[in-house]
C-alpha cells in the first residue's frame, strides 16, 4: 500500500509566511515611523531628553509652518514666524491653537522639517506632537515646543549649505481619542521664569546680556529702573527723554513694539506673542529679585 505524502510541514510553513505577511502589513505604518525616527528620513525630527550639546557659533534660521485638516475646526498658527538660533542652542517657541466649534475635539499633529536632510539633526525636547491632544469647545491655548539643532549639522558635508530649516505641523482629527491629554494645561499658565530664561536666549541674547552691554544695554536690574539710566550707554534721545520706569506693564508694551511705544527708539525687534513677553519679563524680575537678595546678604555680612 502506497503511503500518501505528508503535506503538514509545507502547510505549517505557508501559514507561518502568511502570519508574517499579515504582521508586516498590520505594523507597516509603525515600522515606517520607527525607521523615519531613527534615520531622519522624510524630514522626521528626532526626540531628545535634554540639550547637552555644545553651542556652535554657526547660526540657522528656523521657520514655522502650520496647517489643519479640513474636518478639524481649529485655528492653529505659530506665535512667531521664525527664529534665528545657534546650533546646539536650547530654544523655546510657542504655537497658538483655538477650537472654533461648540464641541470638544481631539487632534493629532504630524510634523517634519525641510530640507529633509536636516531632519536627523533637529531635536525636540518638548512638543505637543508627541501625544493626542484634546481642545475644549471655543478654547484657546498657547503650546510650547522646546528644541535644538544638533551642532553636527555644521560638520556634515551634506548639510553644509543648510542655513534655513522649516518646521511644519499639520493637525488632524485623532483616530485614537481615548486617553488624550487636555490642552487646558496650557490655557492659563502662570508666568514661568524658567521658560523665560530659554526665551531670553532665543529672543534677546543676540543683543543683550544681564551683566554687560553688548549691542544693547545690560538688563540686570532693569525692572524698577528708569529707561536710559545705565551710565555710559548711548541711548537714543527719545528713550533718554521718555521718563519711563520699567515695570511689567511698560516692559510688555516695549517688547510688543518698541518704536510704537517710544517713537524714535533705536530698538527694532519686537515680540508679538504675549506669553513669550510674559515669561521673559518674569525671568528679568526673578534676576532682579535674586540680585537684590544677594546684595542684602552681603550688607548683612552673610554668605
Q: Are 267 and 216 in contact (CB under 8 A)?
A: yes
pLDDT of 189 = 72
Sheet with 74-78, edge to edge strand ranges: 46-47, 122-126, 140-149, 91-99, 74-78
Range 43-187: architecture per CATH:
Sandwich (2.60)
Beta strands at 122-126 and 46-47: parallel, antiparallel or unpaired:
parallel
Nearest to 208 by CA among 265, 280, 157, 156: 280
Q: Is the pLDDT of residue 276 over 60?
A: yes
**What CA–CA distance (Å, rounded) separates 217 from 239?**
12
Whether the CB-CB separation of 156 and 130 falls below 8 Å is answered with no
pLDDT at 271 over 70: yes
Peptide bond into 115 cis (omega under 30): yes
Q: What is the pLDDT of residue 298?
A: 46
pLDDT at 288 over 50: yes
What is the residue-averaged pLDDT of the chain?
A: 83
- CATH of region 194-300: 1.10.760.10
User: Per-residue pLDDT tens for 201-221?
Assistant: 888 988 999 999 989 999 998
Domain extents for the chain? 43-187, 194-300
Q: Region 156-175: what's the mean pLDDT?
A: 95
Same fold, 43-187 and 194-300: no
Give me the mean pLDDT over the 38-63 stretch: 72
Q: Determine the Cα–Cα distance for residues 107 and 138; give it in Å rounded to an integer.
A: 14
Which residues on neighbouring strands pair with residue 76, listed in sequence order?
97
Confidence of residue 109 (pLDDT cuts 50, 70, 90): very high
Comparing 162-166, 169-173, 207-211, which segment has the lowest mean pLDDT? 207-211
Rg (CA), the chain: 26
- Return the pLDDT at 35: 38
3-state class (DSSP) for residue 262: coil
Amino acid at each position: 500500500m502506497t503511503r500518501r505524502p505528508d503535506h503538514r510541514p509545507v502547510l505549517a510553513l505557508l501559514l507561518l509566511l502568511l502570519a508574517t505577511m499579515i504582521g508586516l502589513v498590520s505594523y507597516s505604518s509603525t515600522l515606517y515611523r520607527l525607521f523615519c525616527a531613527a534615520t531622519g528620513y522624510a524630514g522626521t525630527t528626532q526626540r531628545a531628553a535634554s540639550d547637552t550639546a555644545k553651542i556652535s557659533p554657526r547660526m540657522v534660521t528656523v521657520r514655522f509652518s502650520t496647517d489643519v485638516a479640513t474636518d478639524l475646526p481649529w485655528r492653529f498658527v505659530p506665535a512667531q514666524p521664525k527664529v534665528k538660533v545657534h546650533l546646539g542652542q536650547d530654544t523655546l517657541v510657542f504655537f497658538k491653537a483655538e477650537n472654533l466649534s461648540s464641541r470638544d475635539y481631539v487632534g493629532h499633529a504630524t510634523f517634519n522639517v525641510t530640507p529633509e536632510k536636516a531632519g536627523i539633526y533637529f531635536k525636540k525636547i518638548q512638543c505637543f506632537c508627541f501625544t493626542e491632544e484634546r481642545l475644549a469647545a471655543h478654547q484657546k491655548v498657547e503650546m510650547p515646543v522646546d528644541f535644538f539643532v544638533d551642532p553636527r549639522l555644521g560638520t556634515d558635508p551634506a548639510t553644509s549649505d543648510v542655513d534655513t530649516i522649516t518646521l511644519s505641523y499639520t493637525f488632524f482629527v485623532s483616530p485614537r481619542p481615548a486617553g488624550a491629554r487636555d490642552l487646558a494645561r496650557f490655557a492659563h499658565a502662570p508666568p514661568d521664569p524658567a521658560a523665560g530664561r530659554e526665551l531670553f536666549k532665543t529672543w534677546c541674547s543676540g543683543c543683550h546680556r544681564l551683566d554687560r552691554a553688548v549691542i544693547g544695554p545690560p538688563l540686570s536690574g532693569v525692572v524698577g529702573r528708569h529707561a536710559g539710566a545705565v551710565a555710559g550707554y548711548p541711548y537714543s534721545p527719545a528713550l533718554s527723554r521718555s521718563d519711563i520706569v520699567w515695570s511689567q506693564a511698560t516692559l510688555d508694551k516695549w517688547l510688543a513694539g518698541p518704536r510704537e511705544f517710544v517713537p524714535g527708539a533705536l530698538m527694532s525687534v519686537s515680540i508679538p506673542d504675549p506669553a513669550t513677553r510674559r515669561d521673559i519679563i518674569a525671568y528679568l524680575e526673578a534676576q532682579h529679585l535674586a540680585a537684590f537678595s544677594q546684595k542684602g546678604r552681603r550688607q548683612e555680612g552673610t554668605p
